Amino acid sequence: MSKEKWIFGVTALGFAGVGIAMLIFPNLMSIVGVKELTNSGTVEIRALSGGLELGIGLFFLLALNRPKWFRPALVAQVCLLGGLSLGRILGLLIVNWNAKPLIYLVLAGELMLAILGASTLIMNKKVKKKNEFETKIDKY
């Protein structure tokens, strides 16, 4: 199995897993300091923390079997997990890095997947350039 497939598989599992958990148990958000106060709050958590994450997870699952989508999916991975990591780091900076260990654990996972996506994108680009260079040499 290719490296991209492994990366998309793990990312899809992560997003879909959290999404399903939030859809069924929206009150789980209290673990990270977010609590629904009204019926609308519960609906909001179900929709965004549940539905959005499930939708993203499904996209990575689809990308697994579409080699033509590898590059767009890697870019999506860097954008999404990079955005999540940046938001979390900024939030931590504002509270003087005073947060539960769970927040650091989640940040580590997000950062790792963002870096893995970015490094795979860069490596693929290098391989493509090398192949193009070798093809040009062969022509000469």
Which is it for the CA torsion 18, 23, 28, 30, positive or negative? positive
Query: What DSSP letter does each residue of 129-140 carry, written as one string?
Result: HHHHHHHHHHH-
83 contributes a contact to another protein by CB under 8 A:
yes
Q: Among 10, 21, 28, 54, which residue sits at the site for another protein (rule: CB under 8 A)?
A: 54
Identify the residue among 3, 25, 62, 123 touching another protein (CB under 8 A): 62
Query: Stretches 1-9, 31-39, 120-128, 129-137: which one binds another protein (CB under 8 A)?
Result: 31-39
Contacts 24+ apart (CB under 8 A), 39-47: 46/22
27-38: buried (b, 16+ CB within 10 Å) or exposed (e) per residue? eebeeeeeebee
- From the list 10, 21, 28, 84, which residue makes contact with another protein (rule: CB under 8 A)? 84
State the residues that interact with another protein by CB under 8 A: 19, 23, 26, 29-30, 32-52, 54-56, 58-59, 62-63, 69, 72-73, 75-76, 79-88, 90-92, 94-95, 98-100, 102-103
